[in-house]
């Protein structure tokens, strides 16, 4: 239940309680007041009747005069004056007080006998009547209820407006916290509203600024780590290429010469030595293949010579030769020249990892690679970025799967550059791997010092 609804309900309950208490007090007060007025009216009416019947002694038509007298008393409040001769149901004697006023307690009817010339011509019955007073009480309650409804409507309107204006900063605060939860730290709340809410908004702004600064520092640190790793890989690749490669080539050449010399001798020892030398040459060939494979992992072959776009085309061409039953398409609608080395290598590795997973794990027969420039609105990230999407028609991700080392490494690498990598199962079948890599500053010469083939 929202705060606005709670406050409105509390206000409504308070107003209803106030009106209920007012009506209850009015009803409680009306009982004794009505009894007191009835008793007073009964006493006054009895006195009035006694004084009014005295002139009947000299009336020529006492019965008609008595009837006119009773009719003139019909407008009295809180009492009903009637002749006993006109009543169908005469109150029992136990309910009629002939002399004096009604006793305290339940109001009783009063009967006054009218005697003219020693003869009782009729009895005037005075009955307490509180219905008119109660009608006035209920009319008062209705007026209070009507005025109360108008007051409550105005109060609800005013308080709802005040509550809405007072709680408006909370809506902005909720939206800001949702943005922080989603990782968007570019939050700038207006410090308005009540002092407590204004202070919370200021604290949220401070928190967002601190988180934004921390994320920026973490990105710089992570990016530095990635670049340091790339530099280390290039240095290792250079050592393997420039130092280990020539030595392996030299050893293999010497072994080949030595094998030929042993093969020219007819002695059994020379034949055995030639066989051992051939085994050594095979092991050197295996070392050279391992060296080339390690170099390809450390520094993609052709990335320095061909550039990123050419290297991607070469990668897809190589995979197409090895996967003759699969069709791979490449669509590049982004400017890839002049990028820094880390961004180029990251894009290349994302495509390489996506293709490897599609062929090795998904059993795909069709894979599409698409590289686009996207804005911050499309990517949901800060600044423009490259969108790298690898989509296949394979088996798709299983319901419960754990990311392998390669995919985890790519996710960490892309995240370190301020981007994001996602992989999801498509409803129509297959898998889509998508990465957003921020566009860094372009450099004129990328991979200028990277080694070539061994």
Confidence of residue 99 (pLDDT cuts 50, 70, 90): very low
User: Quick one: CA dihedral 59, 64, 67, 68, positive or negative?
Assistant: negative
Distance of CA 194 to the CA centre of its chain: 24
Distances from the Cα of 206 to the Cα of 107, 178, 179, 187, 202, angstroms: 78, 16, 14, 9, 6
What's the CA gap between 81 and 71, in Å, rounded? Answer: 8
Token digits of residue 345: 């290598």
Q: Quick one: pLDDT at residue 370?
A: 92
HSE-CB of 251 using CA atoms within 13 angstroms: 17
Percent of the chain with pLDDT over 70: 86
Query: Span 177-195, mean pLDDT?
Result: 79
Predicted confidence (pLDDT) at residue 383 exceeds the cutoff of 50: yes
Give the residue among 209, 207, 287 at the shortest CA–CA distance from 244: 287
What's the CA gap between 327 and 365, in Å, rounded? Answer: 6
Residue 422: CB atoms within 10 Å: 12
Query: Span 144-171, mean pLDDT?
Result: 80
* pLDDT tens figures, 274-328: 888 888 989 988 988 888 878 777 767 667 777 888 888 888 888 777 777 778 8
What's the CA gap between 322 and 324, in Å, rounded? Answer: 6
Q: Quick one: pLDDT at residue 399?
A: 59
Q: What angle is formed at CA 336 by the lines to CA 330 and CA 337, rounded to 5 degrees? A: 135
Query: Span 441-454, mean pLDDT?
Result: 44
Confidence of residue 113 (pLDDT cuts 50, 70, 90): confident
H helix or E strand, kind and range, residue 96 = strand 96-97
- Count Cβ atoms within 10 A of the Cβ of residue 303 and give its class: 0-12 exposed, 13-18 middle, 19 or more buried: buried
Residue 191: CB atoms within 10 Å: 16
Q: Quick one: pLDDT at residue 389?
A: 92
Mean pLDDT over each residue of the chain, to the nearest integer? 79
Q: Quick one: pLDDT at residue 14?
A: 83
Q: With DSSP H G I counted as helix, E B as strand and the rest as coil, what are the percentages for the chain, rounded to 5?
A: 60, 15, 25
Q: pTM of the entire structure?
A: 0.51
Residue 154: CB atoms within 10 Å: 10
Cross-strand bridge partners of residue 332? 371
């Amino acid at each position: 239940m929202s705060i606005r609804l709670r406050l409105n309900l509390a206000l409504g309950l308070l107003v209803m309680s106030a009106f209920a208490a007012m009506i209850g007090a009015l009803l409680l007060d009306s009982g004794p007041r009505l009894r007191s007025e009835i008793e007073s009216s009964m006493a006054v009416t009895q006195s009035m009747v006694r004084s009014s019947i005295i002139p009947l002694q000299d009336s020529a038509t006492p019965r008609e005069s008595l009837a006119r007298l009773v009719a003139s008393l019909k407008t009295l409040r809180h009492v009903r004056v009637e002749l006993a001769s006109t009543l169908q149901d005469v109150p029992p004697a136990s309910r009629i007080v002939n002399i004096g006023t009604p006793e305290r307690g339940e109001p009783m009817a009063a009967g006054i006998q009218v005697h003219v010339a020693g003869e009782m011509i009729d009895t005037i019955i005075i009955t307490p009547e509180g219905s008119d007073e109660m009608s006035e009480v209920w009319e008062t309650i209705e007026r209070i209820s009507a005025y109360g409804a108008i007051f409550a409507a105005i109060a609800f309107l005013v308080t709802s407006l005040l509550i809405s204006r007072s709680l408006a900063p909370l809506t902005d605060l909720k939206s800001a916290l949702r943005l922080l939860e989603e990782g968007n730290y570019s939050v700038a709340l207006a410090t308005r509203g009540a002092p407590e809410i204004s202070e919370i908004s200021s604290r949220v702004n401070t928190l967002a600024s601190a988180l934004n600064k921390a994320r920026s520092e973490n990105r710089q640190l992570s990016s530095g780590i990635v670049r340091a790793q790339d530099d280390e890989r290039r240095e290792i690749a250079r050592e393997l290429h420039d130092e280990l490669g020539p030595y392996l080539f030299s050893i293999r050449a010497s072994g080949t010469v030595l094998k030929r010399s042993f093969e020219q001798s007819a002695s059994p020892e020379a034949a055995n030595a030639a066989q051992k030398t051939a085994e050594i040459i095979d092991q050197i060939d295996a070392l050279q293949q391992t060296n080339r494979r390690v170099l390809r992992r450390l520094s993609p072959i052709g990335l320095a010579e061909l550039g990123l776009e050419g290297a991607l085309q070469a990668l897809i061409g190589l995979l197409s030769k090895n996967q003759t039953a699969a069709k791979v398409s490449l669509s590049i609608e982004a400017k890839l020249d002049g990028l820094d080395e880390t961004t180029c290598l990251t894009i290349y590795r994302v495509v390489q990892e996506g293709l490897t997973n599609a062929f090795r794990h998904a059993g795909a027969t069709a894979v599409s690679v698409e590289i686009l420039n996207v804005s911050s609105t499309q990517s949901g990230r800060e600044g423009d970025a490259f969108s790298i999407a690898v989509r296949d028609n394979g088996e798709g991700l299983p319901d419960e799967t754990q990311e392998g080392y390669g995919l985890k490494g790519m996710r960490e690498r892309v995240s370190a550059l301020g981007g994001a990598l996602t992989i999801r199962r498509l409803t129509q079948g297959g898998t889509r791997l998508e990465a957003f890599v921020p566009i860094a500053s372009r450099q004129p010469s990328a991979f200028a010092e990277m080694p070539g083939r061994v």
